[in-house]
A and B are shown apart, each in its own frame.
Chain A
């Protein structure tokens, strides 16, 4: 009886989560761009925005056709285009299209064991910053408004929870806040300094909309925690030891190769957006099975797939689903 109830709950959960988390992300990023353009007067021209989206989507289609991969990642390309317009500033109109094309192309070129290595927007923006003239990032563009920060945290938690990758956002924030708090204490500054640093729109955008990208972070929860710690350490050193700007973005780029290492140490099924826009992990949830005494930790995202696999293995039901869990169905 209890088992039936458990299965039904899981079925309900499965239906409730059929909404693609990327849709929520697109909606929120759109709101942020609109808010940025109208309330924070971002130095971005509508033509730059239009070209970014046109090039982002076209490049995605082109790369898909070239590599023969199924065309279903336009949503991801939209997210990348949003991120590029939110982050990158340029004096000329042709920078954004190049940056977003580099971002999308990196997904198809720089790959390791079926996963792309770099966060596309992160790669595109920093490649533009390094290689193209007249580019910059306005880290202070969001200001440090506590109400605005609360809004961003709220939206970010919804998206990351839907994608089941909230753990890396919160772990990263915990490490980073800890490091900032220690620095404030060591310097003997007032706590208002910490609050000011934490209300930074750039930090929250990074924590909830960039580092949480399920495709470019470790598959296992432990791996994600380690990765969050590494990114935090690099960003901290970059900003407070070398006094360089945009520490968070550079840290994510520099730390990206470590994902391979984390995945090797803590193997887990790869995250996939399937054709309905759900992760494969989510679609596996309503499978009927008996004996739910050993309940998997559904709600915590993370290594759900791995736990499910262990459970199914014990029940001899793993054969039909294992290839999908292991990400060997050729999808990306």
Chain B
């Protein structure tokens, strides 16, 4: 989602896995879109932006306590989360439906509809072979009342076969509207249980947040047991589940906010100017030439592009309204980042400091296990096992070793 002043470029990628013939997408749009306002995006761009903004692990190696050593840092590849809301859905003037425009763009057959009655619109979609769930008219009505048009797409099987692709490419469209929102209510019609949506917002001045729901950052910078590295994806999934539960599934979570010119640590190379333009960042000119860097220091002058990655899990009950956003003036960087400390591999007898180090290491590992339990909601026993500690072993009293 790219937003600048009143202009929006929306790129939608679906994780649709059913029969292409049954695919249907209905998106309310504020105006009748011209052919040039619609574009087929590149799925690779989504992969790039996902990799760049993913929650990440950082790994530190403990120094030899007997020497002064430099710290080493390794950025890690992190979890990938499926993005995109799934919308499945299906002509005549008697139904109050008007076809404002009709295009074939890539593998999609697109019609832009306006309608006077939501019942008529639902019937029209059924008659024309769009598979939309029953009760759609009620969800369509609020958009219709606000004089919005409907961008309706289904797969042109011939064109889809010609692309030779087994997946559907993202659809992009550009339009002007004072509304900065994302219609999520339609997608809830055929949802079974809560849905996940990851939003990548690209703006010029600051991070993006929701105005009608609370936006909060996920816990970050927490020290965790080093074994988390083996299964970071399942840790992150459990942590996200737990945070959603704690907040009653009413909150939008921020996973990443960073200026597009750099990153630290980098989960992947920042997007190039060309890639950003393909995503719809239209205000970039050659004057402010963007040279992305993977350095741990900000480059000379920031890029006029800030990426906000929002992750929301919603259900029809907890998110009764569509998401409404605002661009803030907040440019502070944030990333969901979890820290592993690799213990020093020496012997406690090497020097007096080494003995103290190993005693403190034991306490640190317990603390890491506690952090893990706090973040994920796991019980302490599971967390201790994950940290490689024996749950039946209790830590000694505080005065143990006090006079050594």
- Mark contacts of B112-132 with chain A using CB atoms, 8 A cut-off: 1 yes-contact digit, 0 otherwise: 000000100000000000000
Contacts of B177 in A (CB 8 A): 243
Q: B251 to chain A: which residues have CB within 8 Å?
A: 143
Query: A41's closest neighbor in chain B, by CB?
Result: B216
Q: Which of B278-320 contact A (CB under 8 A)?
A: 317, 320
SS class, residues of chain B in contact with chain A: loop
Contact present for B326 and A245 (CB under 8 Å): yes
The smallest beta-carbon distance between B161 and chain A, in angstroms, is 40
Q: Contacts A138-B209, A192-B317, A200-B212 known; A91 to B142 CB distance under 8 Å?
A: no
Chain A residues in 8 Å Cβ range of B330: 43, 89, 91, 134, 136
Which of B210-226 touch A at CB < 8 Å? Answer: 210-217
C-alpha spacing A192/B188, complex, angstroms? 15
Chain B residues, CB < 8 A from A189: 142, 320-321
Cβ contacts under 8 Å, B206 to chain A = 134, 136
Query: When chains A and B are docked, how far (Å) is the Cα of A193 from the Cα of B216?
Result: 21
Among residues of A, the one whose C-beta sits closest to the C-beta of B6 is A243
Q: Does A112 contact B (CB under 8 A)?
A: no
**Complex interface bits, B12-52 against A, C-beta within 8 A gives 1, otherwise 0:** 00000000000000000000000000000000000000000
Closest CB in chain B relative to A150 CB, distance in Å: 15
- B-side contacts of A244, CB under 8 Å: 178
Whether B250 and A143, one on each chain, are in contact in the complex, defined by CB atoms closer than 8 angstroms, is yes
Q: Return the chain B residue nearest A139 by Cβ.
A: B211
Contacts of B216 in A (CB 8 A): 40-41
* Docked complex Cα distance between A195 and B251 (Å): 16
Q: Is the CB of A136 within 8 A of B329?
A: yes
Instruction: Verify if A178 is at the interface (C-beta below 8 Å from B).
Output: no
Within 8 A of A (CB), among B131-179: 138, 141-142, 145-146, 177-179
How many residues of A sit at the interface, in one of the four size bands?
A: 20 to 34
Question: A46 contacts the other chain (Cβ, under 8 Å)?
Answer: no
In angstroms, Cα B179 to Cα A245, docked, is 10
| B145, B178, B329, most chain A CB atoms within 10 A | B329
| Bound Cα distance from A139 to B324, whole angstroms | 11
Dominant secondary structure at the A interface = loop
Which of A41, A145, A189 has its CB near the most chain B CB atoms (within 10 A)? A189
A186 touches B214 (CB 8 A): no
Contacts A189-B142, A192-B317, A243-B179 known; A134 to B331 CB distance under 8 Å? yes
Known pairs A43-B330, A89-B330, A140-B212; A188 contacts B118 (CB<8 A)? yes
Q: Which of these, B118, B180, B248, B320, contacts A192 with CB under 8 Å?
A: B320
The listed residue with most A CB atoms (<10 A of its CB), out of B118, B210, B320, is B320
Q: In the assembled complex, which residues on chain B have CB atoms less than 8 Å from the CB atom of A141?
A: 214
| Total count of chain B residues near the partner, CB < 8 A | 32
Contact (Cβ within 8 A) A136 B328: yes
For the complex, give the distance between the alpha carbons of A130 and B378 in Å.
Answer: 47
Contact A188 B141, beta carbon cutoff 8 Å: yes
Interface presence of B393 (CB below 8 A): no
**Cβ-defined partner of A91 (8 Å) among B248, B250, B317, B329:** B329
A186–B145 touching, CB < 8 Å: yes
Q: Does A242 contact B (CB under 8 A)?
A: yes
B332 in contact (CB, < 8 A): yes
Q: A111–B145 Cα gap in the complex (Å)?
A: 44
Q: How far is the CB of B243 from chain A (nearest CB, A)?
A: 12
Min CB gap B6→A, angstroms: 9
**What distance in Å separates the Cβ of B96 from its nearest Cβ neighbour in chain A?**
15
Contact pattern, A 66-97, Cβ under 8 Å of B = 1, otherwise 0: 00000000000000000000000111000000
Q: A189-B321, A243-B178 are in contact. List 17 more A-B contacts (CB 8 A).
A: A89-B330, A91-B331, A138-B215, A138-B328, A139-B326, A140-B215, A142-B214, A143-B213, A143-B214, A144-B214, A189-B320, A193-B321, A197-B321, A200-B212, A242-B178, A243-B180, A245-B326
Chain B interfacial positions (CB closer than 8 Å to A): 118, 138, 141-142, 145-146, 177-180, 206, 209-217, 248, 250-251, 317, 320-321, 326, 328-332
25 contacts between A and B (CB under 8 A): A40-B214, A41-B217, A89-B328, A91-B331, A133-B329, A134-B330, A136-B326, A138-B328, A139-B326, A140-B209, A140-B211, A140-B212, A140-B214, A142-B214, A143-B213, A143-B250, A145-B250, A187-B141, A188-B142, A189-B142, A189-B320, A192-B320, A196-B320, A243-B177, A243-B178
Question: Which 10 residue pairs of A and B lie closest in terms of their CB atoms, listed nearest first?
Answer: A143-B214, A136-B328, A188-B141, A192-B320, A187-B142, A243-B178, A139-B211, A243-B179, A134-B329, A193-B320
Q: Which residues of A contact B (CB under 8 A)?
A: 40-41, 43, 89-91, 133-136, 138-145, 186-190, 192-193, 195-197, 200, 242-245
